[in-house]
Amino acid sequence: MFNLNVKYILIAVIISAFSIVKSAAQNASNYILLTPTNVGFNINSASALESTSTITNSFKVTCRSRNGAYSVYLKISARSQSTNTPIPYNSLGVKLNAAATGQTGNFNDIYLSTIDQLIIQGTATSGTRVHDWTYNLLLKPLGYNIKPGSYNFTLLFTMTQP
Amino acid sequence: MLKKCFYTVLFLCAVFSARSQSFNGTINPSVNVQTVLNLNVVQNIASLNFSTLDQFNNGITVSNYSTMQIKGNFDWTFSVSTTTQYFTASGASASPNMPASILQMSLSTSPTYYTLSTTPQQISAGSQGDETETGNLFNVNLKANPGYDYGPGTYSITITYTITTL
């Protein structure tokens, strides 16, 4: 009986340790790669303060998932500013501009928060192929209560393989 | 038996967790907000016409001469000045030396009039916000009193309204 318990525990520990290593590191067959082209808004006019700003083809999400289908979630993981009036989290958004070839995309405007939101569901990739998803970056009208200054965000993309 | 079940569940959980993998990436968007001040002037009166003795004796006061709509992301001041020291005169008998100082301006809500010149004079100040912010929508009154010192003619001058960050 004791030997059986030890056996179960050892197997469980080994598999758990293995899973922790795999979930923390990208590898050649499974990864997510972010390529920003232009992710900087410059708000310098009344019209820019009063309307939604869009940076077209702002960044690209490249996914390789040879292990199987995958999902990509997005949230704001950090923000900072040079003033005492932060820009609300949900002012920043993304919009899919071009889905990966052969994939179905969600082309709705998705405004962000500090909680993960599903933005991509893709099928498994094969061979050396990758899926490239191109996004626009959106900024809601800031209005006149946000003081002049610099505002920075960190967007965290998480690719999962169920 | 109970222990065996526990370890079986533990084993299955471990197997399940091993299949669930995640990979991360980040980007760092930035927003650079510059100082924006916007002034919209609605000119309510195009010109003044002096034709009566009373007008020459006492001048003409135009209430709500212009309407100012200010919006900005910074507190502001509002100043008024003229671009030239003298009016531009036209007409055979017009005088070339009618000064900007025959004009005075005030907020429509204030009894204090400021004599105009090429030097900007602050007549109002306000807070960041759009035109719905208190003080960001107001009228100015204009008083013109040339008296009898200048000949008949047509006179023009440019009034400059300036908003600056406080």
Phi-psi region of A146 (alpha: psi -120 to 50; beta: other; left: phi over 0): beta
Distances (CA, A) of A131 to A21, A42, A79, A138: 24, 30, 28, 22
A33 contacts in B (CB within 8 Å)?
25
The answer to whether the Cβ–Cβ distance between B21 and A46 falls below 8 Å is no
Structural contact between residues B39 and B161, judged by C-beta atoms closer than 8 angstroms? yes
* Predicted ipTM of the assembly: 0.84
Report, as an integer, the average pLDDT of A7-34.
Answer: 58
What pLDDT, in 10s, does the model give residues B26-76?
A: 999 999 999 999 999 999 998 999 999 999 999 999 999 999 999 999 999
Shortest Cα distance from B164 to chain A (angstroms)? 14
pLDDT of residue B13: 44
Question: Is the separation of the CB atoms in B142 and B46 below 8 Å?
Answer: no
Q: Rounded distance, CA B11 to CA B14, Å?
A: 5
What confidence tens digit (pLDDT) does each residue in B64-92 have?
999 999 999 999 999 999 999 999 999 99
CA of B108, closest CA in chain A: separation in Å?
25
CA distance A104 to A118: 13
**Would you give the DSSP letter of residue B4?**
H
Q: Is A150 close to B31, i.e. CB distance below 8 A?
A: yes
A160/chain B closest Cα distance in angstroms: 4
Q: What is the pLDDT of residues B90-141, one digit of tens each?
A: 999 999 999 999 999 999 999 999 999 999 999 999 999 999 999 999 999 9
Chain A, chain B: beta-carbon pairs less than 8 Å apart: 162
The pLDDT assigned to B44 comes to 93
- At residue B9 the predicted structure's pLDDT band, cuts being 50, 70 and 90, is very low
Looking at the complex, does the CB of residue B166 fall below 8 Å from at least one CB of chain A?
no
Summarised one tens digit per residue, pLDDT across range A8-21 is 544 444 444 333 33
Amino acid identity for residue A155 in this structure: L
CB distance from B49 to chain A under 8 Å?
A: no
